[in-house]
Structure 1
Amino acid sequence: MVGWSVIMLAQYVFIMPLFTEVWQLAAFYFVNTFAIWYIFAQPQQLLMRLLGAQHLVLMTNGAMQLTPRFDIQQALLQLLLIGVSMFVIFLVNHGLFSGQAEHVFIRQLRYFRTGLNARLQRLAKGKAQPLCFMTPVPLRSVAQAEMAFSRINLAIYPDVEAAQIHTMLAQAYRVCLHYRAFEDSYQPGWHNRHRIKRLLRRSSASLKMPCRHWQPACHHRQRQRLTYCLITRSNV
């Protein structure tokens, strides 16, 4: 992107002051815009294309007026700002949120653990919804981790076995399935917890009455059996 900005600066300084007709300026815009969108043809380079087109408009804004004005200092300032912004994007993309497959794989597994832990704690507190909308979705994190693993060159890591990673991902999918089943069965029970407690109290109260009548009857039968045994032994 910085290289393209330098090319634009050279055209702005040496070529655009020679234009005397409107069609020349239109052809200049068409050729440069076509080159931007043709060279940066991959989907992940969309930001590059947008910045290149925006830089083209900003640097040539003065030449599009009725009285063309060429401000080299403003063009250099825009070039500096574009370079600084691209440097920041480079640091973020290769530092904090690296786009390498290995870093994406580890980061998504960390998101999976964080999201699952947050949802389980939320269920334990009696609330079915996640803590906030930024909480990672476990199933999505596992799917993105699997996609990132498919792009890792395992020849660089001879100690890593693909079978172990696939087993781990399968277990993660199984955990997501068990969590969904637990959540679906837990929510109705949690909403009806007062009814369940009331039913248990009624059931325990209803069991107390037969036990009260059954306990004296048992003692009476035991006394009858003991008396019968004593009488039988005395007769013998």
Structure 2
Amino acid sequence: MASEFASGMLKASVEDHIGTLFLDNPRRKNAVTKAMWQAIPTAVTWLCAEAGARVILVRGAGATDFSAGADISEFGEVRRDAATARLYEAENSAAFAALRNAPVPVIAVIRGICYGGGFGLAAAADIRLADTTARFCVPPAKLGLAYPADAVGDIVRALGDQIARFALFTGEVLLPERLVMSGFLLECLGPERLEETAFSIAATIATNAPLSVRASKLAVRGTGDPSGMLLSEAAALGAATFDSKDYAEGRQAFAEKRKPQFTGR
């Protein structure tokens, strides 16, 4: 099952409950256009609500780059002054939020350049994998811009306070080995192993009980929510799993020493 958004520059597909979201602008190293920013929330909703994804892989099209970030060639129009910049950043923030708040886990699969807004999309994901070609940078300080505040929150949570400050203040390029040490990356792999590892993790998630995974994601998000609302939602969803068909299936499969077949109900 597949669909296209932003005139084909954002592609979404689902197979065996594994969703994939492709940033498809290889001519500009998969830079994200205004239309792509606008389409990301719609694409994530389609993947989860219509196509049945239980996990989403976010990738750059082609074999070289994740994303060079926002398409700077548009800035003369979309960020020409404070008013247009505020509208543009609101669209950026909505895209980051779509990944952060997706009901299913999101895995960023990173090769080559992962800069600026591309870094923000990766930071909003739940899990990040990269290969040894990956290079990371948050360059607003070198462009005279400020990064959206909510995206900075993602970066701090994903990178850790000290390295986040360094990345934002200097705009320096960071290597994947360093970001494994910081906890930003789960693993740094050889280029030949990245796809296999990403799909293996996604397949494991996709075969687990969807309600359980969703409750866990809500609970993790809730640890950073001072209002306590997300933790309350997670607790309610967790409690509901005990009356679910999947819980009954899990118990029965364990007793019968077979692999459970979960349906998300």
Kindly indicate which of the two structures has a greater share of residues assigned to strand: 2
Kindly indicate which of the two structures has a greater share of residues assigned to helix: 1
Q: Fold-level match, TM-score > 0.5? A: no
Q: State the TM-score, normalizing by the size of structure 1.
A: 0.25
Structure showing greater radius of gyration is 1
